[in-house]
């Protein structure tokens, strides 16, 4: 009976997270071009100075989430999950429109920061599932959130690429000066409409999951200080747990460096060494990455986990990702299959790494007698820092080397990303004096 009663809320929650991810990833194919245009209009004519802003704007969303998600989590503990989920959807609806209408870098930067600050939906959605699920139901229902991630990452970039520049792509009613001057507004409008649909579903169909008698009064602003304290608490954790958290942080740093600069590379003219891709082609590439991720995490990982140790699969995932990252700048426009092979390495490597690293961290935490929620909170904090630092670091390296030759060229940032991924492998393989579970 409990499962039947929770079927409706879970379906609505799945749609909320899916639409949330579609809206988040829909900007991927065109954000680089959009920020380049805004930077040029704001007077940043040097290629390096212009492209540095791409990383800054990318990092602003994660910075907003990093600072405000602990506050939103505290609010959800005090007043319920439903209001915070609705707030996140409202934030998406408003600030996606604001981003699409931005006419300066500061407008775009502020819109992305506020969108991230107002959206704690992923963390709160996990808490919602925890509220309504038994211990036996929890893994499968958390897997549902992972599936919505994969589907969103597959659908969002493809839609973003298709809907960009409607005046040139579709003509007809879009063939006006306004749409010519706002080539990136339609995908933002579409994502905002999706978010508003999800908002309507949440308001009408999503019940509160946290009963009033189980709510705990917490002061949101204090949660930021508590987050910083939690990050510092890693120094008191056993070495095997610290190693896994640091491994995850280094891997995410490498992966987000690629996110910040991949389209900078693919958008470069072929004559300059790039691939000459437009927004639509980049959308297809990222949709392919999402598809590979769904295949690996949705089906292959379960079968592989039955035959191989989690540590071995995680190590293979790191190596595949490192090879893919380091190979990116050597790609040519043709044959396309080589480019897809490189992206397969990255997507499959990430698909192997994420679930196996989470599994190992859970096992190590339990073996060491640690509170799993605290450990996961520390990992999320360090992961957020990596997602903030990664795009900015990548943009700085790119801006300083894009016009260079020899060792210091546009190849450099991808070599550094590959090297950091290798560092993640080294951190994982460093033997611990305190012992731990032998996964390899």
**pLDDT per residue rounded down to tens, the chain (440 residues):** 444 443 477 788 888 778 778 877 888 899 999 999 999 999 988 888 899 999 999 899 888 888 887 777 777 777 888 888 888 889 889 999 999 999 999 999 999 999 888 876 776 777 777 777 766 666 566 666 666 777 888 888 889 999 999 998 898 899 999 999 999 999 999 999 988 988 888 888 888 877 776 766 655 555 555 656 666 777 778 888 888 989 999 999 999 999 889 999 999 999 888 999 998 899 999 889 888 888 887 778 878 888 888 889 999 999 999 999 999 999 999 899 999 999 999 999 998 898 888 778 878 887 888 766 567 667 777 888 898 999 999 999 998 898 877 778 889 999 999 999 999 999 988 754 455 545 54
Instruction: Give pLDDT, residue 431.
Output: 52
Q: What is residue 416's predicted lDDT score, i.e. its pLDDT?
A: 96
* Cα separation values, 332 from 268, 273, 276, 294, 295, Å: 11, 8, 10, 26, 26
- Assigned token pair, 89: 């959807």
Which helix (H) or strand (E) covers residue 83, if one does? Answer: helix 81-100
Token output for 136: 């036996």
By C-alpha distance, which of 319, 249, 262 is closest to 289?
A: 262
Return the pLDDT at 219. Answer: 53
Task: Report the C-alpha gap between 166 and 169 in whole angstroms.
Answer: 5
What is the per-residue DSSP string for 1-28?
A: -HHHHHHHHHHHHHHHHHHHHHHHHTTH
| Domains along the sequence of the chain with CATH | 1-205 (1.20.1250.20), 236-431 (1.20.1250.20)
Tokens standing for residue 306: 């039955």
CA–CA gap between residue 160 and residue 26 (Å, rounded): 5
80: left (phi over 0), alpha (psi -120 to 50) or beta: left
Task: Give 119-157 pLDDT, tens digit per residue.
Answer: 767 767 777 777 777 666 665 666 666 667 778 888 888
Residue 437 has φ and ψ, to the nearest 5°, of -75, 135
> Per DSSP, which regions of 91-240 are E strands?
none
Distance CA(142)–CA(140), nearest Å, equals 5
pTM of the model: 0.81
Q: Which of 322, 329, 276 is nearest to 418 (CA)?
A: 322
Tell me how far apart the alpha carbons of residues 388 and 173 are, in angstroms, rounded to a whole number: 39
Buried b / exposed e over 405-419, threshold 16 CB at 10 Å, is eeeeebbbbbbbbbe
Res 281: pLDDT: 92
């Amino acid at each position: 009976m409990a499962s039947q009663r929770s079927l409706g809320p879970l379906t609505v929650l799945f749609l909320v997270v899916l639409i949330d991810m579609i809206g988040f990833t829909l900007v991927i194919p065109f954000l680089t071009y959009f920020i380049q245009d805004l930077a040029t209009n704001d007077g940043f004519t040097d290629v390096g100075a212009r492209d540095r802003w791409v990383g800054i704007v990318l990092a602003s969303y994660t910075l907003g989430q990093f600072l405000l998600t602990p506050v939103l989590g505290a609010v959800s503990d005090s007043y319920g999950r439903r209001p915070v989920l609705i707030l996140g959807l409202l934030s998406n609806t408003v600030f996606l429109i604001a981003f699409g209408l931005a006419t300066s870098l500061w407008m775009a930067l502020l819109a992305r920061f506020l969108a991230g600050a107002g959206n704690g939906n992923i963390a709160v959605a996990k808490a919602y599932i925890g509220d309504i699920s038994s211990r036996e139901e929890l893994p499968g229902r958390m897997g549902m959130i992972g599936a919505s991630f994969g589907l969103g990452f597959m659908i969002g970039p493809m839609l973003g690429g298709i809907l960009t520049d409607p005046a040139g792509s579709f003509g007809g009613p879009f063939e006006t000066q306004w749409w010519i001057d706002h080539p990136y507004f339609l995908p933002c409008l579409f994502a905002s409409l999706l978010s508003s649909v999800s908002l309507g579903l949440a308001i009408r169909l999503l019940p509160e999951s946290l009963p009033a008698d189980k709510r705990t009064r917490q002061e949101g602003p204090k949660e930021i200080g508590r987050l910083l304290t939690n990050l510092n608490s890693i120094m008191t954790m056993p070495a095997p747990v610290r190693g896994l958290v640091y491994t995850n942080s280094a891997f995410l740093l490498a992966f987000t460096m690629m996110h910040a600069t991949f389209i900078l590379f693919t958008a470069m003219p072929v004559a300059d060494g790039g691939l000459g891709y437009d927004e639509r082609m980049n959308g297809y590439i990222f949709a392919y990455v999402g598809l590979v991720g769904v295949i690996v995490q949705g089906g292959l990982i379960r079968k592989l986990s039955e035959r191989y140790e989690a540590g071995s699969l995680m190590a293979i995932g790191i190596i595949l990702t490192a090879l893919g990252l380091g190979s990116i700048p050597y790609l040519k426009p043709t044959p396309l299959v080589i480019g897809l092979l490189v992206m397969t390495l990255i997507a499959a490597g990430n698909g192997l790494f994420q679930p196996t690293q989470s599994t190992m961290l859970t096992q190590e935490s339990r073996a060491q007698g640690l509170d799993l929620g605290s450990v996961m909170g520390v990992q999320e904090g360090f992961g957020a820092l990596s997602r903030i630092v990664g795009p900015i670091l990548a943009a700085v390296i790119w801006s300083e080397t894009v016009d260079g030759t020899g060792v210091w060229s546009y190849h450099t940032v991808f070599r550094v990303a590959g090297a950091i991924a290798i560092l993640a492998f080294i951190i994982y393989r460093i033997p611990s004096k305190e012992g731990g579970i032998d996964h390899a």
